[in-house]
A and B are shown apart, each in its own frame.
Chain A
């Protein structure tokens, strides 16, 4: 469904993403796993056209233009909400631009995420978790084919977190695809069909958990695999030893 080829993202002299390539297939949850500043968000932003990039990005064989954006639901890491509006006004605005005629799905999402009590409050006054719910609903309201979620579980309570994870699973069962970034190993391990481990702007390994395990030659969980692949296991041991002295 999504093809990313030789992607470079530069901010002045700093290269955040260094020529990465990957595909996201229909019916799969693909995870971008990496530490803070690894280049995950820059990769997702370039897919959405939010940053300048070099390389090729295609959705269903087409370059991502205005029309293709309607096939994507995007939850950014930093809120892209309009603080002076209420969630309801914000949804109306997003729905009008997505040319949505039916309110039914939107209502279902509002009730599923228990947002009904907050729909008439200014977004600026909402807690981080509630703002995240607004961003998620805005991304899901048009039932997109591809979900791009940048650290989507940040700030969500346990119930909403579970709902979102279940929705991601159902979404891929229906033939959709999910590309999401996280630095939380347990989530990636439980949810993802395939994972790309990204570090310092480069993909250091990509595949299923089993494939990654083989590559890292580690028998542990995803955290162990990740640390081995990024070469940070020895560094961590050193730091912990120093702190314990």
Chain B
């Protein structure tokens, strides 16, 4: 029988593998082996950094919640914790369900040992934030409440964490067993919805760091609601625990006991499913298959292939939606639509590099396809992303009662296309072959140049507005850039 310490050590190896899988999928499929070595090292740092970052956010949430020291602020903390915990770990847990522990069965280990390792690997995903929450919130809470409030605080956290682990495990299991399989119809829709949630993780955290304080400050507005429905709220999670912390009563003690039992049942369900990991992938093989092929031209073929990959790869789909999310977030923070546009563009370039990353060392290198055709296909997808992002941003502006600058956006489309081509071309020339080359000087230069190219039509409109209508001058420059893009594509072999 493996001791807990030994099992924890082995689980650490599987956890490192899990971290690598998540990191690799996100950033650089198709890298050469030397680069993969670097990536493996970076993935370990990234895992630790993410957990510490998350723990700091949770700690801030606990402090802000305690500062407000009200039923609503504690309930908000428990709720935020449940959802943020679920969202943040959704990516890693999804990959956890792809892990293969079969090798362990070939070693002199019992089934219980293997299950212990599987469970500890799972726990390692959450360990630091899980502990930080359990300790920090009760400790902070007793500064503003009677000492015994630490008990409901602790139990409330325990329930919140159990429910979030249940949610994240259920969603990941569904994704792995049902959604990640190819197929159209409802599967495609469900897959995209799931992946949008999956991808929204980053933004939720990004937004939370910016809005956390003001979020807590605005909670007092809901006080009349809390007073009016006190009785009902005492029956429900997480308000029962909040009341127990502030004004303990019998009803809350009873309902809290029920929710503690529910948390216990949740964890039992999670444990059962973790133990079944090895049993999940059963492939159904049908005897009669109707084979239908849809043969198209090269550009169409590349675009179709890329869209399929994007829809089945959560990391890429996240990057696909990233520009739109980022645009909205920036505008919500008070930036202008033009400033948001540049950020959208930056993320589109990162997305394009990621798509190109999939081609490195892939079959496309052996196929009769010119680089120009490949760039064209990738940039059409980039342009689609750009248009989709602009549409989402415009809808947001209209809802806010602002008029979107649609004419200017249309004028910039040819420029966006050309900029995409130039950035890919220069990226290749400067040797930026991995998907997200952030941090490298070359990548920063490319983004700067790309932003300048995209800004040039607007600049021309401003400078020449006394002589010619700004739209005419802007469009002329945009068109000229487009022709440069076309020229590059035509001449690339």
B293-A91 in contact (CB<8A): yes
Q: A218 at the A/B interface (Cβ < 8 Å)? A: no
Partner of A50, one of B295, B361, B369: B361
In the complex, A98 Cα to B294 Cα: how many Å?
A: 14
B294-A92 in contact (CB<8A): yes
Q: How near does chain B come to A161, taking the closest CB pair, in angstroms?
A: 21
Q: How near does chain A come to B185, taking the closest CB pair, in angstroms?
A: 14
B293-A103 in contact (CB<8A): yes
Bits for B177-190, please: 1 = Cβ < 8 Å to A, else 0: 00011100000000
Q: How near does chain B come to A145, taking the closest CB pair, in angstroms?
A: 13
- A116 partner residues in chain B, CB cutoff 8 A: 289, 291
Q: B286 at the A/B interface (Cβ < 8 Å)? A: yes
Q: A58 at the A/B interface (Cβ < 8 Å)? A: no
Q: How near does chain A come to B160, taking the closest CB pair, in angstroms?
A: 34
Would A96 and B309 be within 8 Å (CB), given that A80-B363, A82-B362 are in contact? no
Q: B399 at the A/B interface (Cβ < 8 Å)? A: no
Q: B364 at the A/B interface (Cβ < 8 Å)? A: yes
A92-B301 in contact (CB<8A): yes
Q: A140 at the A/B interface (Cβ < 8 Å)? A: no
Partner of B493, one of A48, A66, A93, A101: A66
**How many A residues, CB 8 Å from partner?**
44
- B366 partner residues in chain A, CB cutoff 8 A: 48-50, 69, 72, 74, 76, 80
Q: B5 at the A/B interface (Cβ < 8 Å)? A: no
Q: How near does chain A come to B380, taking the closest CB pair, in angstroms?
A: 14
Q: How near does chain A come to B192, taking the closest CB pair, in angstroms?
A: 14
- B209 partner residues in chain A, CB cutoff 8 A: none
Q: B146 at the A/B interface (Cβ < 8 Å)? A: no
A to B contact number (C-beta, < 8 Å): 111
Bits for A86-110, please: 1 = Cβ < 8 Å to B, else 0: 1011011111111111010011001
- A67 partner residues in chain B, CB cutoff 8 A: 368
- A106 partner residues in chain B, CB cutoff 8 A: 293
- A107 partner residues in chain B, CB cutoff 8 A: 291, 293
Bits for B49-74, please: 1 = Cβ < 8 Å to A, else 0: 00000000000000000000000000
Q: B466 at the A/B interface (Cβ < 8 Å)? A: no
Q: How near does chain B come to A62, taking the closest CB pair, in angstroms?
A: 13
Q: How near does chain B come to A66, taking the closest CB pair, in angstroms?
A: 5
Q: How near does chain B come to A120, taking the closest CB pair, in angstroms?
A: 6
In the complex, A8 Cα to B301 Cα: how many Å?
A: 35
Q: A65 at the A/B interface (Cβ < 8 Å)? A: yes
Bits for A39-60, please: 1 = Cβ < 8 Å to B, else 0: 0000000001110000000000
Partner of B289, one of A48, A70, A120: A120
A110-B291 in contact (CB<8A): yes
In the complex, A106 Cα to B291 Cα: how many Å?
A: 11
Q: A206 at the A/B interface (Cβ < 8 Å)? A: no
Would A93 and B362 be within 8 Å (CB), given that A82-B309, A98-B368, A99-B298 are in contact? no
Q: Which of B322-372 contact A (CB under 8 A)?
A: 358, 361-370
Cβ-closest chain B residue relative to A103? B293
Sorting the interface of chain B by its residue count into under 10, 10 to 19, 20 to 34 or 35 or more gives: 35 or more
Cβ-closest chain A residue relative to B281? A125
Q: Which of B173-203 contact A (CB under 8 A)?
A: 180-182
A49-B370 in contact (CB<8A): no
Partner of A122, one of B181, B364, B365, B369: B181
Cβ-closest chain A residue relative to B289? A116
Q: How near does chain A come to B283, taking the closest CB pair, in angstroms?
A: 5
In the complex, A69 Cα to B493 Cα: how many Å?
A: 13
- A91 partner residues in chain B, CB cutoff 8 A: 293
Q: How near does chain A come to B450, taking the closest CB pair, in angstroms?
A: 27
Q: B302 at the A/B interface (Cβ < 8 Å)? A: yes
B309-A49 in contact (CB<8A): no
Partner of A66, one of B182, B363, B370: B370
- A110 partner residues in chain B, CB cutoff 8 A: 291
In the complex, A138 Cα to B285 Cα: how many Å?
A: 22
Bits for B290-324, please: 1 = Cβ < 8 Å to A, else 0: 01111111101110110011001100000000000
Cβ-closest chain A residue relative to B295? A95
Q: How near does chain A come to B38, taking the closest CB pair, in angstroms?
A: 14
Would A117 and B287 be within 8 Å (CB), given that A81-B363, A84-B312 are in contact? yes
Q: A119 at the A/B interface (Cβ < 8 Å)? A: yes
Partner of B304, one of A72, A92, A100, A119: A92
B289-A119 in contact (CB<8A): yes
Q: A121 at the A/B interface (Cβ < 8 Å)? A: yes
- A76 partner residues in chain B, CB cutoff 8 A: 366
Q: How near does chain B come to A71, taking the closest CB pair, in angstroms?
A: 9
In the complex, A65 Cα to B358 Cα: how many Å?
A: 21
B291-A93 in contact (CB<8A): no
In the complex, A116 Cα to B308 Cα: how many Å?
A: 21
A92-B291 in contact (CB<8A): no
Q: A22 at the A/B interface (Cβ < 8 Å)? A: no
- A101 partner residues in chain B, CB cutoff 8 A: 295
Partner of A93, one of B281, B305, B365: B305
- B304 partner residues in chain A, CB cutoff 8 A: 92-93, 96
In the complex, A53 Cα to B358 Cα: how many Å?
A: 23
- A96 partner residues in chain B, CB cutoff 8 A: 295-298, 300-302, 304
Q: How near does chain A come to B357, taking the closest CB pair, in angstroms?
A: 13
Q: How near does chain A come to B156, taking the closest CB pair, in angstroms?
A: 41
- B368 partner residues in chain A, CB cutoff 8 A: 66-70, 97-99
In the complex, A93 Cα to B309 Cα: how many Å?
A: 12
In the complex, A74 Cα to B362 Cα: how many Å?
A: 12
> Given A72-B366, A89-B305, list of 16 further CB < 8 A pairs?
A50-B361, A69-B366, A80-B363, A82-B309, A84-B309, A85-B182, A92-B296, A93-B304, A93-B305, A96-B304, A97-B364, A100-B295, A116-B289, A117-B287, A122-B181, A125-B283
List the 5 closest A-B pairs by CB distance, nearest first: A96-B301, A70-B368, A80-B363, A69-B368, A84-B312
List residues of B whose CB falls within 8 A of some A CB: 180-182, 281, 283, 285-287, 289, 291-298, 300-302, 304-305, 308-309, 312-313, 358, 361-370, 493
CB pairs A–B below 8 angstroms (22 shown): A48-B365, A48-B366, A69-B368, A70-B368, A72-B366, A80-B363, A82-B358, A82-B362, A82-B363, A84-B309, A91-B293, A92-B294, A92-B296, A93-B305, A94-B367, A96-B298, A116-B289, A116-B291, A119-B289, A120-B289, A121-B285, A122-B181
